[in-house]
A and B are shown apart, each in its own frame.
Chain A
C-alpha cells in the first residue's frame, strides 16, 4: 500500500471530520463516520484514480455511509446538546456567550434540515465545493444542488435577525 495514499488521506481528516460533524451533529457519530469511511477507502484504494480529487471521493463515501446509517436508524432527529456533543469549547476562544449561543443556533438549524439539503449546504457553504463538485459527490444534477441550497437557506435566513448582522 503506497504511503502517499495514506498521507493524503490523513491530511484530509480534519476536513472530513468537519463535514461529518455537520451531517451527524455530534462528534462521536461524526468520528465513527470518518473512521468507517477511511476503512472503506483503504479497502477500495484500487478504485481511486491518482490525480483525481480524493476529497470529493471521501465526501461521497461519508455522505453515502451517513445516509445508510440514517436509513437503518430507528430514531430520527436525535436532540443534541452542544455541551454533551463536545461542540463547546468551554469558552476557550474569546467569544462572548452571545456569540456562542448564535453558533449553537446555527448547528441546531442545520440539524433540522432534511438530509439532502443539509449535505448540499455543508458541501457548498462549509467545504467550499463548487456546485458541480457537490452535484458529482451527491450524484444529483446541478439544478438539484441549487434548488436544495435555496430551500435550505430559506429556512436558515429568517433565523438571522438583524442584530446578528456583522458588527
Chain B
C-alpha cells in the first residue's frame, strides 16, 4: 500500500495538468486514500470558488469605453487629423418587431407534438444540452432566422438570429411563445460540440403577451436586456445573413 501522494501531483491532477495515464494512476490511488481524496475535493472546491468569486464580468456587457478603444481607428484620420470613430457595428441585420408579424410571414410552420428540450412534461426550455431528438434541437439545426414552427398545441418557436465569432462559436437566439400560459421565453443556444446545442441562457417573461399586441413583446423589457447582456458577454457581433445560415446548415453548423 502506498502512502499519501505528494500535494503537487494531487494539485496537478485537479488542474488537469497530468497526462491521461498519470491521471488514471491518481484516480486509482484516491480510491483507497480518503485523506488524499479529501484534499483533492478541497482543491476542486477552491478552484470553483475562485472562479465564481470573479465571474461577474462574464455576465456583463463589454464596457463602452473598452469597446470604443477596440473599435477606435488606429490608422484612420480625416484631413483635419481628427480621429474618425468607426462606430459600433449594428449587431443584427433584422430584429423582429414582434411575434405577430411572424404569423403571417412566409415562415416554415411545422406542427410537432414534441416539446422543447424533450422530456415528458418539460413545458419550458431549460438551460443545458438540448436533447438531440427534441423539436428545439431540430429547429436550431434547420430553421433560418425569421422562420418559426409550432411546438405542441400552444407553443411557437421563432428563430431570431445567428451569431458567429462569439466566445462559444456559433450561437442562435430564439423565442418560444406559450399561448395558454402567456409565457414568453427568450433564449440563446450555442454549438458546443458536433451535433450538440447547449442552451446558455433562457429568460422567461410571464403575462408579457396579450392578444391585442398580437404577441408583441417589448424589446426593452428586463428579459431582453438580460439576453442583450448575454450576447455582449459572448461577444456576439453582426447577425449572420440568411445565405450564411444556409451555408452553415449545409455543413451541420461547423
CA distance A10 to B236 in the complex (A): 9
Provide a sorted-by-A list of 18 A–B residue pairs whose CB atoms are within 8 angstroms: A10-B67, A10-B237, A12-B235, A13-B66, A13-B70, A14-B235, A17-B63, A38-B70, A103-B52, A103-B53, A125-B15, A126-B47, A128-B16, A130-B15, A150-B11, A153-B43, A156-B46, A166-B41
Question: Known: A11-B165, A106-B49. Is A34-B66 also a contact (CB below 8 A)?
Answer: yes
Chain A residues at the B interface, C-beta cutoff of 8 Å: 1, 4, 6-15, 17-18, 21-22, 27, 30-31, 34-35, 38-39, 42-43, 87, 89, 102-104, 106-107, 110, 121-122, 124-126, 128, 130-131, 146, 149-150, 153, 156-157, 160, 164-166
Q: Which residues of A contact B46 (CB under 8 A)?
A: 125, 153, 156-157, 160
Q: Is B74 in contact with A146, judged by CB distance below 8 angstroms?
A: no
B69 CB contact (under 8 Å) in A22, A38, A157: A38
Taking a contact as CB atoms under 8 Å apart, the answer to whether A125 and B70 are in contact is: no
Contact in complex: B8, A150 (CB < 8 Å): yes
Query: Which of these, A9, A18, A27, contacts B70 with CB under 8 Å?
Result: A9
- Contact of A125 with B51 in the complex, beta carbons under 8 Å: yes
Contact B62 A10 (CB under 8 A): yes
Q: How far is the CA of A13 from the CA of B62 in the complex (A)?
A: 7
Partner of A18, one of B8, B58, B165, B237: B58
Which B40-83 residues have a C-beta within 8 angstroms of A? 41-43, 45-47, 49-58, 60, 62-63, 65-67, 69-75
Most interface-central of B46, B53, B69 (chain A CB within 10 A): B53
- Which of B12, B41, B58, B235: most chain A Cβ within 10 A? B235
Given A18-B57, A87-B56, A146-B12, CB of A42 within 8 Å of CB of B70: yes
Tell me how far the C-beta of A17 lies from the nearest C-beta in chain B, rounded to whole angstroms.
Answer: 3
- Chain B residue numbers with a CB within 8 Å of A160 are 42, 45-46, 49
Nearest-neighbour CB distance to chain B for A58, whole angstroms, equals: 11
Contact of A1 with B12 in the complex, beta carbons under 8 Å:
no
Q: Find the A residue at minimum CB distance from B167.
A: A11
Check B63 against A31 for contact (C-beta < 8 Å): yes
